[in-house]
């Protein structure tokens, strides 16, 4: 879809919020189609220069809610001190927010620096000396730099306190007060917090000027909103999500299902993976014309398609009567979106199923959904290979039982009569069952999906001064850069085939694949990364021998 078409998609989209073209272009290229509720409510008053207090849980999209207005207000002067400061409770969140600011502001050439304990301070000092426009940091390390004289906040125009309740719980109250004292009195101040205890309100009254107040995620779904929906979740490492989805679908055997993804690119990747597993899956996203959408929906309603893979925007307004399952390939960005999605099943007395795949680091987002809905979402064990084999045998038995009611069985008696002189009738039946079972796919030939590593600690102990040992940003998964892309005709199956054929890594262990015009990114288990790099470096893909290495900027 052309950029201009995306930018005018609707006044309800990002284009209607008054953002500059460079930001809109970045959002379109990242596959974002419309703002979340917190973004829609926060961005206009922040662009107008108001202070803001937002009550919003993790996962509602609040990073973009404050990052986009910060980027909008940046000047081209990069030689002075930082123009914006975001304080966050943990090193992980500092990295996450910093990367988001960098992605949204890439067309502006923004300089953003995360500062936190556990990272060599020398690298931070060098970056600060070169000049940065946005600093994202934990209070302890930010105060370290202020004390050293290496961070000057006299030119800061916007300060964000993100997850303020978490920072206070971790003992950062005094540090926050000291940092705010170093910033100009006429600054814009933004405070986000999942809860609003009196001490948070006291900070807001002391440091914010007539703030706009926004509250998200407090409403509890009415009892009739999700009447007959069986909800469950599976914790899965990112590298194994596609395999886990296929396995869950094998066991659930939905009549018709929608799989929700975050971006158009993810929609295409998941659709391709499901079709490769033998499902009849169709993609539906904002890059499709209305005629294409209508044809996809016609095939779903007619039964020739059983799975629809879609973004929230593309699925808006869909009402498929025979829909039995809603599957979230990721935890929804906003808890309200979860309620809206699963409301598509369990209607008119029909039972429905809602399943969510949760990466270890997304478990807090799942808790936010439970708080909103007032219902617990059970964590289930992923189906094993044994489970799949039992399920397929059950499907074979069900097919045989259904065939026993057919009226034309007698025409096959001649086959039975010709064999019973030499073979026991029971063995004939077993052979027939074997043929039927193999024709339907046979036994499962897959490796077990490993259990994900335990989730990292959500909180970082207070870091009064000094560095600590760094922790992995995404334990167990390596992201590889492959120097060949769409312009060379590369498809996901080409990359999967090369990895499997050259390195011997099973296809089920290959994670997300992102293909751009000139290069590709692929996720593999970290222990196998060097083997894959060496194997691909010696091979040709689409007639080329690409550069292969670990991605330099791991997420």
Architecture of the structural domain at 229-373 = 3-Layer(aba) Sandwich (3.40)
The predicted-structure confidence for 12-32, as pLDDT tens digits, reads as follows 478 889 899 999 988 888 877
Report the pLDDT value the prediction gives residue 459, as an integer from 0 to 100. 38
Q: Lowest mean pLDDT: which of 18-27, 213-222, 308-317?
A: 213-222
Band of residue 5 on the pLDDT scale cut at 50, 70, 90: very low
**Please, what is the end-to-end C-alpha distance for the chain in angstroms?**
27
CB 237, CB 477: distance < 8 Å: yes
Q: Is the pLDDT of residue 400 over 50?
A: yes
Here the tokens at position 211 are: 């703030």
Residue with tokens 């207070």: 462
More confident residue, 139 or 351: 139
Report the pLDDT value the prediction gives residue 165, as an integer from 0 to 100. 82
- For 94, the 3-state DSSP assignment is helix
In angstroms, the CA 200 to CA 181 distance is: 17
More confident residue, 317 or 60: 60
In angstroms, the CA 222 to CA 473 distance is: 38
Contacts (Cβ under 8 Å, ≥6 apart) of 91: 114, 116, 117, 118, 119, 138, 460, 471
Report the pLDDT value the prediction gives residue 469, as an integer from 0 to 100. 31
Over residues 348-372, mean pLDDT: 83
Residue 357: φ, ψ to 5°: -90, 125
Q: What is the DSSP string of 131-146?
A: --SEEEE-HHHHHHHH
Q: Is the pLDDT of residue 97 over 60?
A: yes
| Top-confidence range, 149-158, 224-233, 392-401 | 149-158
Report the pLDDT value the prediction gives residue 211, as an integer from 0 to 100. 95
3-215 with 229-373: one CATH topology? yes
Report the pLDDT value the prediction gives residue 58, as an integer from 0 to 100. 58
CATH classification for the domain delimited by 477-550, as one of 3.30.70.330, 3.20.110.20, 1.10.260.40, 2.40.160.20: 3.30.70.330
More confident residue, 134 or 390: 134
CB 418, CB 477: distance < 8 Å: no
Report the pLDDT value the prediction gives residue 12, as an integer from 0 to 100. 45
In angstroms, the CA 109 to CA 188 distance is: 23
Q: Is the pLDDT of residue 471 over 50?
A: no
Q: Is the pLDDT of residue 75 over 80?
A: yes
C-alpha separations of 202 from 73, 173, 321 in Å? 28, 11, 50
Report the pLDDT value the prediction gives residue 22, as an integer from 0 to 100. 92
More confident residue, 304 or 72: 72
Over residues 491-514, mean pLDDT: 80
Over residues 324-329, mean pLDDT: 92
CB 36, CB 11: distance < 8 Å: no
More confident residue, 531 or 452: 531
More confident residue, 147 or 421: 147
Q: Is the pLDDT of residue 218 over 60?
A: no
The predicted-structure confidence for 85-96, as pLDDT tens digits, reads as follows 999 987 778 888
Report the pLDDT value the prediction gives residue 470, as an integer from 0 to 100. 43
Contacts (Cβ under 8 Å, ≥6 apart) of 263: 30, 31, 32, 311
Over residues 132-161, mean pLDDT: 93
Percent of the chain residues topping a pLDDT of 70:
84
Q: Is the pLDDT of residue 209 over 80?
A: yes
Helices (H) and strands (E) in the chain, counts: 20, 17
Report the pLDDT value the prediction gives residue 84, as an integer from 0 to 100. 96
Architecture of the structural domain at 3-215 = 3-Layer(aba) Sandwich (3.40)
- Where are the chain's structural domains? 3-215, 229-373, 385-437, 477-550
CB 339, CB 225: distance < 8 Å: yes
Q: Lowest mean pLDDT: which of 4-18, 99-113, 160-174, 225-239?
A: 4-18
Q: Is the pLDDT of residue 267 over 60?
A: yes
In angstroms, the CA 176 to CA 261 distance is: 37
């Amino acid at each position: 879809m052309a950029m201009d078409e995306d930018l005018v998609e609707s006044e309800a989209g990002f284009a209607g919020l008054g953002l500059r073209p460079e930001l809109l272009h970045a959002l379109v290229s990242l596959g974002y189609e419309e703002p979340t509720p917190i973004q829609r409510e926060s961005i206009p008053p922040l662009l107008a220069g108001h202070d803001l207090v937002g009550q919003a849980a993790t996962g509602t999209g609040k990073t973009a809610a404050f990052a986009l207005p910060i980027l909008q207000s940046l000047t081209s002067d990069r030689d002075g001190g930082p123009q914006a400061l975001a304080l966050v409770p943990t090193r992980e969140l500092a990295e996450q927010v910093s990367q988001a600011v960098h992605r949204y502001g890439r067309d502006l050439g923004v300089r953003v620096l995360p500062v936190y304990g556990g990272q060599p301070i020398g690298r931070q000092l060098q970056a600060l000396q070169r000049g940065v426009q946005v600093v994202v940091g934990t209070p302890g390390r930010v105060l370290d730099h202020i004390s050293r004289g290496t961070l000057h906040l006299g030119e800061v125009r916007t300060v964000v306190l993100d997850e303020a309740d978490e920072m206070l719980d971790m003992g950062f109250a005094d540090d926050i007060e000291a940092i705010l004292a170093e910033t100009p009195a006429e600054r814009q101040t933004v405070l986000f917090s999942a809860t609003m205890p009196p001490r948070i309100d006291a900070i807001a009254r002391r440091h914010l000027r007539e703030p706009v107040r926004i509250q998200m995620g407090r409403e509890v779904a009415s009892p009739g909103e999700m009447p007959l929906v069986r909800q469950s979740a599976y914790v899965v490492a990112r590298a194994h999500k596609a395999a886990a989805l296929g396995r869950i679908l094998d066991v659930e055997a939905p009549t018709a299902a929608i799989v929700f993804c975050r971006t158009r690119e993810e929609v295409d990747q998941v659709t391709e993976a499901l079709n490769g597993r033998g499902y009849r899956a169709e993609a539906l996203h904002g890059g499709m014309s209305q005629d294409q959408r209508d044809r996809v929906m016609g095939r779903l309603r007619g039964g020739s398609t059983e799975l629809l893979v879609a973004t929230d925007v593309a699925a808006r307004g869909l009402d498929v009567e025979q829909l039995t399952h809603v599957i979230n390939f990721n935890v929804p960005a906003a808890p309200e979106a979860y309620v809206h999605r699963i409301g598509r099943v369990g209607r008119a007395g029909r039972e429905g199923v809602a399943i969510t795949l949760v990466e270890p680091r997304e478990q807090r987002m799942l808790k936010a959904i439970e708080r909103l809905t007032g219902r617990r979402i059970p964590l289930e064990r992923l189906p094993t290979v044994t489970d799949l084999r039992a399920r397929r045998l059950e499907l074979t038995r069900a097919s045989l039982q259904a065939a026993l009611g057919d009226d034309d069985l007698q025409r096959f008696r001649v086959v039975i009569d010709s064999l019973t002189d030499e073979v026991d009738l029971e063995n004939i039946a077993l052979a027939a069952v074997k043929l039927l079972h193999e024709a339907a796919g046979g036994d499962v030939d897959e490796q077990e999906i490993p259990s994900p590593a335990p989730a990292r600690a959500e909180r970082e102990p207070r870091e009064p001064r000094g560095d600590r040992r760094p922790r992995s940003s995404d334990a167990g998964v390596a992201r590889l850069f492959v120097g060949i892309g769409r312009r060379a005709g590369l498809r996901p199956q080409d990359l999967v085939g090369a990895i499997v054929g050259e390195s011997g890594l099973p296809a089920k262990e290959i994670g997300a694949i992102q293909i751009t015009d000139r290069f590709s990114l692929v996720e593999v288990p970290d222990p196998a990364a060097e083997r894959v790099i060496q194997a691909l470096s010696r091979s040709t893909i689409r007639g080329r021998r690409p550069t292969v290495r670990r991605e330099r900027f791991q997420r």
